[in-house]
Amino acid sequence: KQWYQRRVAITAGVNSEIEKSGIGAEKFDAIFCVAGGWAGGDAANKDFVKNTDLMMKQSIWTSVISANVAAHHLKEGGVLTLAGAEPCLEGTSFMIGYGLSKAAVHQLTASLAQSGGGLPTGAVVQCILPKTLDTPMNRKFMANADFTTWTPMSYITEMFTKWAEDPSSRHPNGALVKILTIDSITTETVV
């Protein structure tokens, strides 16, 4: 399916779930887009175009659709969080499609944060930039890595919960939030 068709289907699904839930016209405090994936390859790689297409679907499409859902279902003063990536602040020659798609999410964040970006009044958009998340798939494919440099998913969920419940804990609107873990200690820095 084309992404417009997916957006229509997802939006219809969100609207249906909202109707079923009985919350009526009530809006959400927070919307978190955590979709993504990874595929590598430089421009000479035989799977370069295929991998780039996959990365666009997994990162750009999901972020754009989440932004559209937020424009219609996020409360005034709510928070939308998107998933970028710290390595994609620079060139990513060995994973061009991944870098391209995450850099687009960084740009989407900046655009949504501007006046006229389409989000509700007072809403904040933030983009997390982890280096490596401690997920089962990452452990499977990088079994010999130093896990003390990987950000635990519990840190991410606690951070998202804090941002949803306490607006004063959020970073400025449009922030790219670098999440770095060293020796199992995780910090957040706006870049």
Residues with catalytic function: 98
Question: Whose structure tokens read 């999440």?
Answer: 179
| Residues 83/36, Cβ–Cβ less than 8 Å | yes
Name the E strands within the chain: 28-32, 74-83, 124-130, 133-134, 151-152, 176-182, 185-190
> At 60, which helix (H) or strand (E)?
none
Burial (Cβ within 10 Å: 0-12, 13-18, ≥19) of residue 13? exposed
